[in-house]
Amino acid sequence: MVGKLLFDFVAEDGNIERKVFENPIKIVTTTSLQEVRKALDEVQQAVNRGYYAAGYVSYEAAPAFDPAYLVAQHLQMPLLWFGIYEKPTVKEEVCAQASFKIGKWQADTDRKRYNKTIQSIKRAIASGETYQVNYTMRLYTDFYGDDLAYYEHLRLAQRAKYSAYMDLGRFRILSLSPELFFQGKQNQISTRPMKGTIARAKQYEDDQKMAMILSTSEKDQAENVMIVDLIRNDLAKIPGVQTVHVPQIFSIERFPTVYQMTSTIEANYAMKPTLLQVFDALFPCGSITGAPKVSTMKIIAQVEQSSRDVYCGAIGYVEPEGETTFNVAIRTIWLDSMSGKACYGVGGGITWDSTEEGEYEEAMMKTRFLHKESVEFSLLETLKWEDGQFFLLERHLHRMQQSAMYFDFRFDRSKIMQSLEEHANLYVGQTRRVRLLLASSGSCQVESTPLLQTSRTEQVVALAKTPIDQEDIFLYHKTTHREVYAYHKKENPEVYDILLWNEQGQITEFTTGNIVVEISGQKWTPSRPCGLLNGTYREQLVEQGILEEKIITIEEVLGATKVWLMNSVRGFVPVRIC
């Protein structure tokens, strides 16, 4: 439906709030630079009359706010598009049955050209033309199917704070932006530029180290402070601004695939500025240009292969008596329904300390969510209830809490303990296998079944027929998303369990527990980076020195003196590999 817009922006309480705009009473759009200012005035007049306005301003609209800004001349989309609406409607659920198909993304810039461009940018830095250049490239692919379903898929994968979907007719925009451009409320305007990125690790402890590395990175702090200074100066240009301050600097924000460094800059004013006055002062956002803006945008226009269009522009809405919120349109895809093509822009800030390899890796890191599987799941712990207590309860809760922090699940320890105690009181004197499930909302569920005595006779197990993907994040956290285990178990359902291994031929774990092997009288278990869950019983025995960790090959396990499947419910189960 032309003019249907969805905004999934973060609210004051930290939750994502959906606003849906439909059936615009008027559309304001232009492909002419000379009409951009007039169009924004028209949007402001509609808001002054009590209407809502929602839409975007493209990167190439920048010269309308300062003729010194140079941009690409050949555009693929309108410079500006806004719908005028009576009001947003209530949250809408998207049909999960809708399907789509996406091809392989191909960059418009090969590695050789990319490296040459980095070298030319560093020469410009050396000559004093710029301090930092936000250099970007485009990725293209073919798209088929339901674009709104694709948006929902990406939104779940990215979990961004400023996502938006726009149906403009020929063009559809799917923005999964983590970055706030500006938000105006009462007598204050806030910006939150994002500069500094590092990939997340798969295990909680390593993941925390990555966040610490980013927070103390002198290179990323230098990039970030350059943009903070630039935006402070931009905010001071807004008519009526009285004070500008930085309440937060070098904050680290967590996303599914990366950590980002952000800073918050706020300005207070006596009289609320118009939309045009704000764009005059701030647009385009300094985090997607570099500094200083004028000379840096000239370099961008020279080295980039094509127009940015809505990418690196701003997407948002204006309320008649409330707030104005716009994102920086990064992590943004636009679809052309006429050609069936999809375009995604990606890049990063180039400084004197940048390396060709490092910048290319960072750019590719920002494409990971395009390939990330979008799944709904709960965190899971399986405990043994026996003799009036839960075995290794503290370790189970600690592991669940770490995974909750990793995936941004709410974790209320007292609420979980209460649920476990209430369930345990129903089965006093019994031995049970208990499942504790935690939803992202923080709601928990406890269920159990009688636990029969474990047989100590040797069980027959088999090697998996194919390797696991060591990069699968769900191998390192216990969740209800267990497709990889179910797939391998289904291949050979007659045996007790399946022994998994990775692409390097290294043993990892069973589908229902860790593995312990005895070699030359010593008990060993595979190292965690091989691709496995750190079982609570495994963790305890490693800490006690009963087990040692090391890489174990398939050949070694087949030649081991003894092999056990081990978990906190069954203990040690002797097995034989058939």
Catalytic residues: 179, 195
DSSP 169-236: SSEEEEEEE--EEEEEETTEEEEE-EEEEEEPPSSHHHHHHHHHHHHT-HHHHHHHHHHHHHHHHHHH
Distance CA 491, CA 464 (A): 8
In angstroms, rounded to a whole number, what is the distance separating the alpha carbons of residues 428 and 421?
11
From the list 471, 492, 472, the residue with the least C-alpha distance to 482 is 472
Q: What is the DSSP string of 252-300?
A: EEE-SSEEEEEEEEEEEESSPPPHHHHHHHHPSPGGGTEESHHHHHHHH
SS3 state at 437: strand
Question: Cα separation of 539 and 548, whole Å?
Answer: 10
Specify whether the backbone of 21 is left (phi greater than 0), alpha (psi in -120 to 50) or beta. Answer: beta
The packing angle between helices 111-126 and 293-303, to 10°, is 150
CA–CA dist 497, 183 (Å, integer): 55
Spatial distance between the Cα atoms of 172 and 154, rounded to a whole number of angstroms: 14
What separation in angstroms does the CA of 110 have from each of 114, 117, 137, 138, 364?
6, 11, 10, 11, 13
Max Cα-Cα span within the chain: 83
- Helices 218-236 and 275-282, interaxial angle, to 10°? 140
In Å, how far from its chain's centre is CA 220? 19
User: At how many degrees (to 10) do helices 111-126 and 356-365 cross?
Assistant: 120
- Residue 281: what residue type? A
In the chain, the amino acid numbered 225 is V
Compute the distance between CA of residue 544 and CA of residue 203 in angstroms, rounded to an integer: 21
Q: Residue 504 is which amino acid?
A: Q
Q: Round to the nearest angstrom and report the end-to-end CA distance of the chain.
A: 59
Measured CA to CA, the distance from residue 265 to residue 191 in angstroms comes to 5
Query: Helix or strand or coil: residue 424?
Result: helix
In order of 111, 368, 373, 440, the CA distances from 363 in angstroms are 12, 10, 19, 29
